[in-house]
Amino acid sequence: MKRRDFLAASAALALLSSSPAHAAKKTAHKKPTPKKPAKKPAEQTDTAREPESRAAVSLPEEPPAQWKTYDIVSTLSLTEPTGKTRLWLPLPRYKDTPWERSLGHRWQGNFATAGIYRDPVAEMEVFYADWPEGIDHPTLQIASQIATQDRHFDITQRQPVAERTEVLRRCLRSTELLSGDGMVRRTAERAVGRIKNPLAQGKAIYDWVVENTAYDPALNNAVERPISEMLETGNLTGRSADIALLFVGLCRAVGIPARPVFGLRVDSSRLFDSLGVVGELSEAQHCRAEFYTPGYGWIPVDPADVRKAIREERLNDSDSKLPVLKKLLFGFWEMNWIGFNAAQDVGLQGSTGALLPYLNTPVIETREGRFDSRNKDRVRYSVTANRVET
């Protein structure tokens, strides 16, 4: 074996060797039995439990397969829309995975028509509802039941089934926010250096993003920026989507298939209080990422939550919790969060508007144009998640 290849292989094996979360044996995943809808009305939801104070002082041991089931209720009303109104709302991933299961949806409201459509190319399900002209206060309530368990990447376990070629091809292409040339390519090449092993390259890009970005929640309503603009201006401060997309774009620039995963936090965290949420969840959107390596499949990462914890928990370089957190969030998703989709450049069925960079909040379209749930003057939007005791 050439020395260069040996060093790359050694680096890959060393990535997670000290992490019991990744070295633990995998256990069988059992699909939970869907629970019957509760007899009480959908609008009567319980308040989520208050979180306990938590701090990530060591890597948690990988527990046996343990599913948690949530009833997630989204309520939305509009104020005096003009003309006909259509709404689109992203739903949790419909394809079962070892860490997330969708157990069904039910809805009610004063809409004329409503339903769910599926985009098989984007692997995305979207709920839609239509109100005719003359309805002054369109209302909707949709309840979904989701089961989750923590997602662990185990470097000792090989993935026998390769991803489909067309999926990998989509996860290498440029989008409105992602480009793979110019400054993006040069930055990615500097980050990986002479590393040739794809797994070690992904870890090098993850480390670069964690070290060079900053999380800023004040940008929640900012216009999405292309990653090329972020790198050219040197302004690498952003929200979770900005940070995750930067990781994805750098991976794609050096030929590593990668994709963002947009979703919503639904529970408290056992790592840090700042990485969880309880109660009202309408602004708890969070974007993670994953990249593909032959032989291992899709590997989960969350560089944005490292930066969020650094800011919210006031961690500094000498804090013993920081290297533990950095190591943990390469290959681990704490599933107090549900994933919606990995779709980019999204076209909404029946819309007359332009493509969206991504879809992770409700979008509304009237005669006056398009707006989303962040428009507080036009939309009242709330989300609650209640743990279903089994």
- What is the length of the chain? 390
Q: Clarify whether residues 137 and 228 are in a common domain.
A: no
Q: Clarify whether residues 102 and 145 are in a common domain.
A: yes
Q: Clarify whether residues 238 and 317 are in a common domain.
A: yes
Does residue 50 form part of some domain?
A: no
Does residue 8 form part of some domain?
A: no
Structure tokens at 6: 């040996």
Does residue 31 form part of some domain?
A: no
Q: Clarify whether residues 124 and 225 are in a common domain.
A: no
- Rounded to the nearest 5°, which phi and psi values hold at 38? -65, 150
Does residue 47 form part of some domain?
A: no
- Rounded to the nearest 5°, which phi and psi values hold at 78? -115, 150
CA 149, CA 64: separation in Å to the nearest integer? 10
Q: Clarify whether residues 299 and 164 are in a common domain.
A: yes
Query: Which pLDDT score, from 0 to 100, does residue 62 have?
Result: 52
| Cβ atoms < 10 Å from Cβ of 123 | 16
- pLDDT, tens digit, 9 for 90 and up, residues 202-225: 999 999 999 999 999 887 555 678
Does residue 223 form part of some domain?
A: yes
Kindly report the CATH number assigned to the domain that includes residue 82. Answer: 2.60.40.2250
By residue range, what is the domain housing residue 279?
A: 154-334
Q: Clarify whether residues 231 and 287 are in a common domain.
A: yes
CA 130, CA 226: separation in Å to the nearest integer? 32
Q: Clarify whether residues 219 and 327 are in a common domain.
A: yes
The pTM score is 0.83
Q: At which residue do the structure tokens 């940008």 appear?
A: 219
- pLDDT, tens digit, 9 for 90 and up, residues 329-355: 999 999 999 999 999 999 999 998 899
pLDDT band at residue 276, thresholds of 50, 70 and 90? very high
Q: Clarify whether residues 127 and 159 are in a common domain.
A: no
Does residue 159 form part of some domain?
A: yes
Give the residue from 334, 354, 369 where a domain finishes. Answer: 334
Kindly report the CATH number assigned to the domain that includes residue 317. Answer: 3.10.620.30
Q: Clarify whether residues 164 and 144 are in a common domain.
A: no
Q: Clarify whether residues 188 and 325 are in a common domain.
A: yes
- pLDDT, tens digit, 9 for 90 and up, residues 24-71: 333 334 444 544 444 443 343 333 334 444 455 555 555 566 899 999
pLDDT at 13 over 50: no
- pLDDT, tens digit, 9 for 90 and up, residues 292-319: 999 999 999 999 999 999 999 999 988 9
Q: Per mean pLDDT, which range of 47-51, 71-75, 124-128, 150-154 is the poorest?
A: 47-51
Q: Clarify whether residues 167 and 264 are in a common domain.
A: yes
Q: Clarify whether residues 144 and 163 are in a common domain.
A: no
CA 377, CA 35: separation in Å to the nearest integer? 37
The total domain count for the chain is: 2
Does residue 11 form part of some domain?
A: no
